[in-house]
């Protein structure tokens, strides 16, 4: 433990992280920062290196790895290809090399065998595509940035891939209300730059912001790093334009904050994962850009033997909310094993050492002096109360990003550690981490690492288990145990990642049969032939 004087927090408003040049921010940012051996870099805005070596083994076909049967959809014919080419001249892709990439998720856990990739530019083109597919009974897999965690954005069999990548126009921005209207294929990071130049920020921030599309964010109801401050997309999305399965267009790009006329239909499509309609445009409320942003990366004092240090994490969060109040914008936690993996696989150096847990606290407000004073007072009191061992604070943007990289790049570090079993859970705060030591004892040497990190302010645990390779025995030890453990504590088996293909059959641990039946009725009403993203979100009927 490093002894700190009271004045240290006020003086050390900078980051001192020892790392190789370029280790924290490398390569190009944005959607173009793709590496040859991985489909979607993670997070693209923070790195330019691959998380898998060139020549990684081919991913097994989903239809071979999982017990799933193809539904009686039609197969694409030469006549269909000719019809699509007439609709989208030069944008009907059948090149096997291109298709090989879009058939696999970035985690390399699922792989379809689609033979057609369609790249529309407008809502009208999407409407024509779906009208044709509905008439022909052709299944469609909508795809945005393909950064999802649950296999929801790639085909299971030979579904047509409908990419929104070319639907990337910003349609309007109102600099008084902060309302942004854009097409669904706009990359989140590029939208962020656009509104920041006009004094606003996006209410959503993700590690995958350099590749993920706003339409995909909406379709999965993505949570992310600003949820604590600005809430979910269910509150910030003002309107949507959606193409239904039969090609009809539901145009609801409202910019109104208040509209209490009838059912709020946009909520049906937020979080529906492309199973009810294809989002083609979004109206979203942005928030004024903070004038002062501070990030503190802190080491927590070891605690009692049962769950060392996590009680201190909870106490720090409680104290943080009370002291920082309205300027608190993020409170993230990670355990020591996460930090070790980030150092081992990515070469990043932790500015604080020897703690069982680390927390990242971000404040965002309108006054540099006011916010710095509040943060300094909080840190001094937390240190003197015995909650913290050490820490560092950053205010300059590059160093703020470097501290955030320690949290955002955990997923990348895990992907380099071997096969990863991922769980995205909502749990009561007091029990948020207890599953991690439980699983370490349960799995023993069968697992390389069992780690926990996530959004403490949202009650969201990212539980990850790594192993040398996929093992049916290890999977059986994890599932359904993890889901039963979560359900027994009235948690959710998917906090923010959605269900996609890989988690669809566990929805019953979080939703009652009556809710599932109503969901099926809605699916049948909006997509009677079931052509939109089949095999996803809803469980397979017995």
Mind listing the pLDDT tens digit for each residue in 359-379?
Answer: 999 999 999 999 999 999 999
Residue 232 has a pLDDT of 94
Position 129 confidence tier, pLDDT thresholds 50, 70, 90: very high
Task: Match domain 45-163 to its CATH number in 3.30.1490.20, 3.40.50.300, 3.30.43.10, 3.20.20.80.
Answer: 3.30.43.10
Answer whether 45-163 and 170-288 agree in fold: no
Residue 34 has a pLDDT of 29
Q: Omega before 530 cis (within 30°)?
A: no
Position 55 confidence tier, pLDDT thresholds 50, 70, 90: low
Read off the pLDDT of each residue in 157-186 and give the average, rounded to a whole number.
98
Task: Please give the distance of CA 407 from its chain centroid, rounded to a whole number.
Answer: 13
Strands 292-300 and 287-288: unpaired
Task: Match domain 170-288 to its CATH number in 3.40.50.12160, 3.40.50.620, 3.20.20.70, 3.30.465.10.
Answer: 3.30.465.10
Q: Apex CA 502: angle with CA 498 and CA 505, to 5°? A: 85
Task: Please give the distance of CA 213 from its chain centroid, rounded to a whole number.
Answer: 11
The third-level CATH classification (topology) of the domain covering 6-44+290-412 is Alpha-Beta Plaits (3.30.70)
| Distance (Å) of CA 535 to CA 303, 472, 479, 541 | 45, 22, 20, 11
Task: Please give the distance of CA 141 from its chain centroid, rounded to a whole number.
Answer: 19
Residue 540 has a pLDDT of 83
Comparing CA positions, the residue from 446, 502, 440, 506 lying closest to residue 472 is 446
- Reported as a single tens digit per residue, the pLDDT across 312-328 is 999 999 999 999 999 99
Task: List the strands of the sheet with 460-467, edge to edge.
Answer: 388-394, 292-300, 357-365, 328-335, 449-455, 460-467, 419-426
Comparing CA positions, the residue from 541, 536, 540 lying closest to residue 275 is 536
Residue 304 has a pLDDT of 52
Residue 377 has a pLDDT of 94
Contact yes or no for 37/52 (Cβ under 8 A):
yes
| Helix-helix angle 310-324:368-384, to 10 degrees | 150
Position 309 confidence tier, pLDDT thresholds 50, 70, 90: confident
Residue 11 has a pLDDT of 32
Contact yes or no for 277/531 (Cβ under 8 A):
no
Task: Match domain 417-510 to its CATH number in 3.30.70.2740, 3.60.15.10, 3.30.1050.10, 3.30.565.10.
Answer: 3.30.70.2740
Flag whether pLDDT at 39 surpasses 80: no
Position 302 confidence tier, pLDDT thresholds 50, 70, 90: confident
Please state, in angstroms and rounded to a whole number, the distance separating the CA atoms of residues 44 and 54.
18
Between 296-310, 314-328, 360-374, 425-439, the lowest mean confidence (pLDDT) is in 296-310
- Reported as a single tens digit per residue, the pLDDT across 469-479 is 989 999 999 99
Domain ranges of the chain: 6-44+290-412, 45-163, 170-288, 417-510
Position 43 confidence tier, pLDDT thresholds 50, 70, 90: very low
Kind plus residue range of the DSSP H or E element containing 135: helix 123-136
Residue 542 has a pLDDT of 57
């Amino acid at each position: 433990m490093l002894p700190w004087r009271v004045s240290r927090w006020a003086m050390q408003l900078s980051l001192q992280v020892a790392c190789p040049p370029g280790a924290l921010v490398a390569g190009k940012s944005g959607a173009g920062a793709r590496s040859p051996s991985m489909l979607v870099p993670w997070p693209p805005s923070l790195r330019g290196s691959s998380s898998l070596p060139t020549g990684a083994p081919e991913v097994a076909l989903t239809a071979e790895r999982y017990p799933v049967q193809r539904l009686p959809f039609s197969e694409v014919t030469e006549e269909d290809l000719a019809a699509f080419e007439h609709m989208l001249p030069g944008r009907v892709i059948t090149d096997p090399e291109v298709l090989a990439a879009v058939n696999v998720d970035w985690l390399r856990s699922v792989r379809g065998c689609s033979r057609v990739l369609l790249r529309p530019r407008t809502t009208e083109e999407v409407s024509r595509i779906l009208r044709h597919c509905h008439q022909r009974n052709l299944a469609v897999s909508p795809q945005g940035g393909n950064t999802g965690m649950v296999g929801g954005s790639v085909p299971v069999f030979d579904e047509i891939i409908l990419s929104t990548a070319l639907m990337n126009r910003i349609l309007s921005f109102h600099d008084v209300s902060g309302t942004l209207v854009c097409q669904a294929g706009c990359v989140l990071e590029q939208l962020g730059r656009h509104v920041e130049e006009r004094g606003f920020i996006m209410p959503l921030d993700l590690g995958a912001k350099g590749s993920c599309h706003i339409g995909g964010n909406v379709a999965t109801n993505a949570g992310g790093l600003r949820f604590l401050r600005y809430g979910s997309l269910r509150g910030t999305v003002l309107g949507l334009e959606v193409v239904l399965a039969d090609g009809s267009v539901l145009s609801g790009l409202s910019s109104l904050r208040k509209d209490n006329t009838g059912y709020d239909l946009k909520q049906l499509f937020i979080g529906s994962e492309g199973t009810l309609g294809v989002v083609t445009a979004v109206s979203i409320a942005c928030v004024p850009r903070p004038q002062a942003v501070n990030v503190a990366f802190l080491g927590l004092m070891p605690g009692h033997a049962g769950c060392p240090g996590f009680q201190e994490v909870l106490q720090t969060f409680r104290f943080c909310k009370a002291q920082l109040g309205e300027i608190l914008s993020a409170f993230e936690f990670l355990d020591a094993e996460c930090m070790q993996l980030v150092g081992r696989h990515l070469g990043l150096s932790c500015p604080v050492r020897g703690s069982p847990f680390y927390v990242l606290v971000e404040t965002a407000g309108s006054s540099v002096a006011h916010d710095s004073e509040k943060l300094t007072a909080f840190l001094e009191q937390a240190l003197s109360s015995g909650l913290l061992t050490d820490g560092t604070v950053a205010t300059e943007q590059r160093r703020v990003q470097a501290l955030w990289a320690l949290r955002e790049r955990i997923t990348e570090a895990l992907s380099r550690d071997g096969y990863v079993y991922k769980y995205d859970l909502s749990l009561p705060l007091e029990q948020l981490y207890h599953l991690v030591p439980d699983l370490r004892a349960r799995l023993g040497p069968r697992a390389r690492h069992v780690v926990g990190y996530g959004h403490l302010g949202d009650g969201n645990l990212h539980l990850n288990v790594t192993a040398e390779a996929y093992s049916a025995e290890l999977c059986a030890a994890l599932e359904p145990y993890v889901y039963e453990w979560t359900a027994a504590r009235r948690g959710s088996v998917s906090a923010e990642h959605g269900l996609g293909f890989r988690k669809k059959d566990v929805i019953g641990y979080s939703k009652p049969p009556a809710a599932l039946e109503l969901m099926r009725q809605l699916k049948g009403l909006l997509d009677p032939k079931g052509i939109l993203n089949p095999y996803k979100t809803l469980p397979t009927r017995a």
